[in-house]
């Protein structure tokens, strides 16, 4: 979620007459402006899809006046000042220009984002940290500067929440606004691997794109699902946001809007009484897991009791699930048929749900581990009783399946 500060000093270089105003009008209509901009001598550590803020410098009206996304990594070219020197440039897909009167003033930036030397940026292409990016995003969105610290979570917290969200969605069918299928295969920060009909093997997507979109949605209440606003995998990012409660799509290009709790009801609904008029019982056809009976037979046989592989307690087998070590929705057909290694007994008294949610896992040593991100209380006490126990289901055949869970699901 890091970003770049690109600088513009109209005393040294300026837009052509009327060009800046045309950029404002175009971006207000939802159009994007593609330009090449100098990053000084910066050649490395610039990522396509990274946020770019344009800082107006000079004698007066200093501040941020435009925002966009980097669409090409740095490349050399003749210096913009016409000299024989070489400069490095990135392509920027600008999504918004504002009148200089509507800028985010340098005075506000100095007060709210004090880690950046706003008055002493002598070159373009300066990088901001995660926390600085979040704060500048909020100022650009028009948030009250005095409430930024309270309203916007720290970047580390945003990333932690986004990573947890993506891990919960592993294997879950995700539909974009236009109905295309997406599926998360793995989550290994800083990227998430996403499969589509065109790329069933999966392609990496930067988690920063989801972080940026989630922050925009939270601060502004809406976000436009297109590359100019939330990155080049905007369709997937939109599909993730649509899994959140209260998020609704409207228009074209689609805009995701957060309908907050307590919002006024739609005019076409009776706000005093809402009833359900459909059939209370509906018959549905469901896909059955063909190997489930065979898995239970392999794990329990004819026994009436069995031990949970995670907590070690013995229960009647009716209270034990044949739990997949690696999520079944991610397994290949070959892995699903690997009955000797793909599943373990997990009790319904907490272990099955805790493992599925990533609160417990099995470390490469074969020992049950528990997350320290549980807030204490009864949950912390319960996890403490499980942690450190040997997992009898762990072995040479199941090692890779447990490693997948430990790497992708466990809430480290």
Q: Summarize the confidence of residues 17-41 as an average pLDDT.
A: 88
Residue 277 vs residue 397, higher pLDDT: 397
Q: How far is CA 412 from the centre of its chain?
A: 17
d(CA 377, CA 400): 33
Residue 327 vs residue 1, higher pLDDT: 327
Q: 155-168 and 130-140 helices cross at what angle (nearest 10)? A: 90
pLDDT attached to residue 83: 81
pLDDT attached to residue 320: 93
Q: Summarize the confidence of residues 37-49 as an average pLDDT.
A: 81
The segment with the largest mean pLDDT, out of 236-240, 242-246, 370-374, is 236-240
pLDDT attached to residue 2: 67
The per-residue b/e assignment along 259-291, b for 16 or more CB within 10 angstroms, e otherwise, is eeeeeeeeeeeeeeeeeeeeeeeeeeeeeeeeb
d(CA 383, CA 292): 28
Q: What is the 3-state secondary structure (H, E, C) of the chain?
A: CCEEEEEECCCCCCCCCCHHHHHHHHHHCCCCEEEEEECCCCCCCCCCCCEEEEEECCCCCCEEEEEEEEEEEEEEEECCCCCCCEEEEEEEEEEEECCHHHCEEHHHHHHHCCCCCHHHCCCCCEEECHHHHHHHHHHHCCCCHHHHHHHCCCHHHHHHHHHHHHHHCECCCEECCCCCEEEEEEEECCEEEEEECCCCCCEEEEHHHHHHHHHHHHHHCEEECCHHHHCCCHHHHHHHHCCCCCEEEECCCCEEEECCCCCCCCCCCCCCCCCCCCCCCCCCCCCCCCCHHHHHHHHHCCCCEEECCCCCCEEEHHHEEEEECCCCCCCCHHHHCCCCCCEEEEECCCHHHHHHHCCEEECCCCEEEECCCCCCHHHHHHHHHHCCCECCCCCCCCHHHHHHHHHHCCCC
Q: Is the pTM of this model over 0.85?
A: no
Q: Quick check: 347 and 320 in contact, CB under 8 A?
A: yes
Q: Summarize the confidence of residues 40-54 as an average pLDDT.
A: 82
pLDDT attached to residue 266: 37
Q: Is the pLDDT of residue 276 over 70?
A: no
Q: Summarize the confidence of residues 284-306 as an average pLDDT.
A: 74
Q: What is the mean pLDDT of the chain?
A: 82
Q: Is the pLDDT of residue 314 over 80?
A: yes
pLDDT attached to residue 135: 84
Please write the tens of the pLDDT for every residue from 351-395. 999 999 899 999 999 999 999 877 678 898 899 999 999 999 999
pLDDT attached to residue 352: 92
Peptide bond preceding 204: is omega within 30 degrees of 0, i.e. cis?
no
Residue 25 vs residue 279, higher pLDDT: 25
pLDDT attached to residue 174: 92
Q: How confident is the model at residue 219 (pLDDT cuts 50, 70, 90)?
A: low
pLDDT attached to residue 377: 85
Please write the tens of the pLDDT for every residue from 105-140. 999 999 999 889 998 888 888 988 877 887 888 888
Report the CATH fold assignment for 3-128.
ph1033 like fold (3.10.590)
The segment with the largest mean pLDDT, out of 34-48, 160-174, 355-369, is 355-369
Domain boundaries, the chain: 3-128, 155-258, 292-408
**Pair type for strands 314-316 and 255-258:** unpaired
Q: Is the pLDDT of residue 269 over 60?
A: no
d(CA 409, CA 168): 8
Q: Which of 148, 128, 150 is nearest to 140 (CA)?
A: 148
Q: How confident is the model at residue 99 (pLDDT cuts 50, 70, 90)?
A: very high
């Amino acid at each position: 979620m890091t970003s770049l500060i690109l600088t513009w000093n109209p005393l040294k270089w300026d837009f052509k007459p009327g060009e800046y105003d045309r950029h404002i009008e175009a971006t207000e209509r939802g159009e994007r402006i593609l330009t090449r901009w100098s990053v000084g001598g910066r050649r490395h550590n610039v990522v396509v899809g990274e946020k770019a803020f344009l800082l107006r410098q000079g004698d007066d009206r200093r501040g941020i006046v435009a925002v966009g996304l980097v669409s090409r990594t740095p490349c050399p070219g003749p210096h913009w000042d016409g000299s024989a020197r070489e400069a490095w440039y990135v392509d920027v897909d600008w999504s918004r220009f504002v009148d200089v009167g509507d800028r985010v003033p340098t005075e506000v930036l100095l007060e709210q984002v004090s880690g950046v030397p706003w008055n002493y940026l002598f070159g373009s292409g300066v990088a901001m940290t995660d926390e600085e990016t979040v704060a500048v995003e909020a100022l650009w969105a028009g948030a009250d500067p005095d409430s930024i610290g309270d309203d916007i979570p720290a970047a580390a917290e945003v990333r932690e929440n986004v990573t947890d969200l993506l891990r919960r969605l592993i294997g879950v069918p995700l539909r974009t606004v236009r109905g295309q299928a997406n599926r998360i295969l793995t989550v290994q920060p800083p990227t998430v691997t996403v499969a589509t009909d065109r790329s069933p093997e999966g392609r990496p997507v930067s988690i920063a794109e989801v972080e940026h979109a989630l922050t925009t949605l939270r601060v502004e209440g809406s976000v436009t699902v297109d590359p100019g606003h939330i990155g080049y995998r905007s369709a997937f990012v939109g599909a993730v946001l649509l899994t959140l409660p209260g998020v609704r799509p409207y228009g074209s290009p689609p805009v995701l809007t957060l309908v907050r709790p307590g919002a006024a009801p739609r005019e076409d609904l009776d706000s005093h009484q809402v009833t359900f008029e459909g059939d209370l019982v509906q018959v549905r056809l469901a896909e059955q897991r063909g190997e489930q009976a065979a898995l239970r037979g392999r794990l329990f046989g004819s026994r009436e009791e069995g031990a949970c592989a995670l907590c070690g307690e013995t229960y009647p087998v009716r209270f034990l699930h044949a739990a997949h070590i690696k999520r079944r929705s991610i397994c290949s057909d070959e892995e699903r048929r690997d009955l000797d290694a793909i599943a373990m007994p997990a009790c319904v008294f907490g272990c099955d749900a805790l493992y599925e949610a990533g609160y417990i896992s099995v470390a490469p040593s074969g020992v049950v581990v528990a997350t320290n991100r549980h807030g204490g209380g009864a949950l912390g006490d319960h996890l403490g009783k499980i942690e450190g126990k040997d997992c009898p289901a762990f072995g040479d055949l199941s090692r890779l399946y447990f490693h997948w869970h430990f790497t992708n699901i466990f809430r480290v």
